[in-house]
């Protein structure tokens, strides 16, 4: 194990970290952008494609078989690479609203977010939902208007929509030359230069860039350049200029234009992350006291994933380093149990590929292998005790009874259900009445059931049947209320495996309110305190 770094060394390392998530509405291009960023940072040689067309590679961050088959991300993935002397920890997030809970966990572990907006669709529902979560967590947001190489809306119209619907003041860093669908390049307002893009075959390698003078832009791009000049002058007149303090205070959002699939504007986004995105800062514990960056090691578990390596069937916990110097082999304390936790197997993760990591600093994401005792939201620490706020679970709206198709696979069925529950893929509810062989799976979205079925069959050899239940909402209750609720039609009480909470399920809101009216002293509490996450 390496020697512990000094406080000055820890602070210096923290300053060069950039830990961020790529978030957006489904199909806005998150995984494509993740791949493009890794390509431009020279972390990979050739970018893949998110659509599973014959002969084309899948993206690095989409490592599950079901992700590659469906062409969407259903789990978060961590990618670590260096660029311009800075260490990037880029966390890709699920590409479907049914997995927004996984996105929420990721947002507990980052210092900045890159929000992608489809140039044709603008601010979509999931985009708004994620903006609100970022606002609540005070996470600065850089906006990238994607797919500008396809027909879309007016740039100024999109800026108005961002401001009206989010309250963030958009401050364009780059401005497109050419309307959506006829994209020539951008004018960089911060660096006062004009960049022209030329796409490479298939968009698999970096786009060719050339710098133009205003005279060259006038001669080569004509009316498109003159229109861009007029719009840039208007932006200056209304004061839509970047202000770093406003950005970090979540009052404004820098805006860039580009096309991730063509690799247009991606390098400029990387530079913006280095120049504008904030480095790690002290994180508040459950009592609201900040843990200094130079304090002894502390980390937050934000994701647990099993079977990333099919050959070893292991379990990896993704830990955001919050303070101190992580050294592989150090023995930490698991705040939830008070027990020691050894870190012999620590890895940096790049999609499904891994490499042993000996040191990590605030902002880094470390993968701890065979972390059977850890769950999302857990805290690990060295030295003075600390516990970070837990990561709330979403309120489920879909419920189904799971049963193994084969009685001979009962052991694999139980092990698989317990594993997926620990990862947070699904919430598992049990009761004495239903028995251990028929747990109720509770999901935010129905596609979670599809993932559970696929993973149980592929990873544990346990095929299952799912019988959907008529319940549509859940509330936290207590033992006294549970006794009376058990006698009510259209209601059922089960125990959530993860935290042993008693959950009351109802067929609909009308039925819940009717029961509550008859029994006003029943405890029926919302499942999530952070209402910005929604359900």
**Which segments are annotated as binding site for GTP?**
92-96
Q: Which two tokens stand for residue 180?
A: 């959506």
Gyration radius (Cα) of the chain, Å? 24
Kind and range of the H or E run holding 214: helix 214-221
Residues 6+ apart with CB under 8 A from 99: 73, 74, 75, 444, 445, 447, 448
DSSP-based helix, strand, coil % in the chain, nearest 5: 30, 30, 40
Per the CB < 8 A criterion, the answer to whether 293 and 14 are in contact is yes
> Interhelix angle for 125-137 vs 155-166, to 10°?
50
Q: What are phi and psi of 323, to 5 degrees?
A: -155, 160
Q: What are phi and psi of 24, to 5 degrees?
A: 180, 180
Distance CA 148, CA 139 (A): 26
The owner of tokens 């916990």 is 317
Residue 155 CA to its chain's centroid (Å): 27
Neighbours of 92 (CB within 10 A): 28
Distance CA 192, CA 477 (A): 60
Distance CA 118, CA 518 (A): 49
DSSP collapsed to 3 states, 12-71:
HHHHCEEEEEEEECCCCCHHHHHHHHHHHCCCCCCCCCCCCCCCCCCCCCCCCHHHHHHC
Distance CA 146, CA 120 (A): 9
Q: What are phi and psi of 505, to 5 degrees?
A: -105, 140
Of 90, 150, 156, 75, nearest in space to 118 by CA: 150
> Interhelix angle for 155-166 vs 223-237, to 10°?
30
In the annotated binding site, the residues are 92-96
């Amino acid at each position: 194990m390496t020697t512990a770094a000094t406080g000055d060394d820890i602070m210096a390392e923290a300053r060069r970290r950039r830990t961020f998530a790529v978030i957006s509405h489904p199909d806005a291009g998150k995984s494509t952008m993740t791949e493009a960023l890794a390509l431009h940072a020279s972390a990979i040689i050739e970018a893949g494609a998110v659509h599973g067309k014959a002969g084309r590679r899948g993206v690095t961050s989409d490592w599950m078989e079901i992700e590659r088959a469906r062409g969407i991300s259903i789990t978060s993935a961590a990618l670590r690479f260096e660029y311009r002397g800075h260490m990037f920890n880029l966390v890709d997030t699920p590409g479907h609203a049914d997995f927004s809970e996984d996105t929420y966990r990721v947002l507990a572990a980052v210092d900045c977010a890159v929000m992608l907006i489809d140039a044709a669709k603008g601010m979509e529902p999931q985009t708004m939902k994620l903006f609100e979560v970022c606002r609540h967590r005070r996470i600065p947001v850089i906006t990238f208007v994607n797919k500008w190489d396809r027909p879309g809306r007016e740039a100024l119209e999109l800026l108005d929509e961002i401001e009206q619907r989010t309250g963030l003041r958009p401050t364009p860093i780059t401005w497109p030359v050419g309307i959506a669908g006829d994209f020539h390049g951008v004018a960089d307002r911060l660096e006062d230069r004009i960049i022209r893009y030329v796409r490479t075959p298939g968009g698999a390698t970096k786009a060719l860039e050339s710098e133009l003078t205003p005279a060259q832009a006038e001669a080569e791009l004509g009316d498109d350049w003159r229109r861009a000049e007029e719009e840039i002058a208007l932006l200056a007149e209304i004061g839509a200029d970047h202000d770093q303090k406003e950005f970090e205070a979540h009052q404004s959002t820098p805006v860039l234009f580009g096309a991730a699939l063509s690799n247009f504007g991606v390098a400029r986004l990387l530079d913006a992350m280095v120049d504008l995105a904030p480095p790690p800062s002290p994180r508040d514990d459950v009592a609201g006291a900040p843990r200094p960056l130079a304090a002894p090691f502390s980390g937050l578990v934000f994701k647990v994933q099993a079977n990333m390596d099919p050959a070893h069937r292991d379990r990896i916990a993704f830990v955001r380093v919050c303070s101190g110097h992580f050294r592989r082999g150090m023995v930490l304390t698991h705040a939830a149990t008070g027990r020691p936790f050894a870190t012999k197997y620590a890895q940096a993760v790049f999609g499904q590929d891994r490499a042993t990591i000996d040191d990590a600093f605030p902002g880094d994401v470390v993968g701890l292998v065979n972390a059977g005792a850890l769950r999302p939201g857990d805290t690990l620490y060295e030295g003075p005790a600390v516990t970070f706020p837990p990561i709330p679970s979403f309120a489920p709206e879909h419920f189904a009874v799971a049963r193994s198709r084969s009685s001979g696979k009962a052991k694999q069925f139980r092990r698989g259900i317990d594993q997926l529950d620990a990862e947070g893929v699904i919430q598992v509810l049990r009761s004495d009445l239903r028995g251990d062989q028929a747990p109720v799976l509770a999901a935010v979205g129905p596609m979670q059931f599809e993932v559970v079925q696929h993973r149980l069959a592929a990873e544990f050899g346990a095929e299952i049947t799912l019988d959907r239940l008529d319940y549509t909402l859940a509330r936290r209750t207590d033992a006294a209320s549970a006794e009376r609720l058990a006698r009510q039609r259209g209601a059922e009480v089960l125990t959530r495996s993860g935290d042993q909470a008693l959950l009351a399920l109802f067929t609909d809101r009308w039925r819940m309110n009717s029961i509550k009216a008859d029994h006003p002293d029943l405890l029926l509490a919302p499942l999530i305190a952070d209402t910005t996450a929604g359900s």
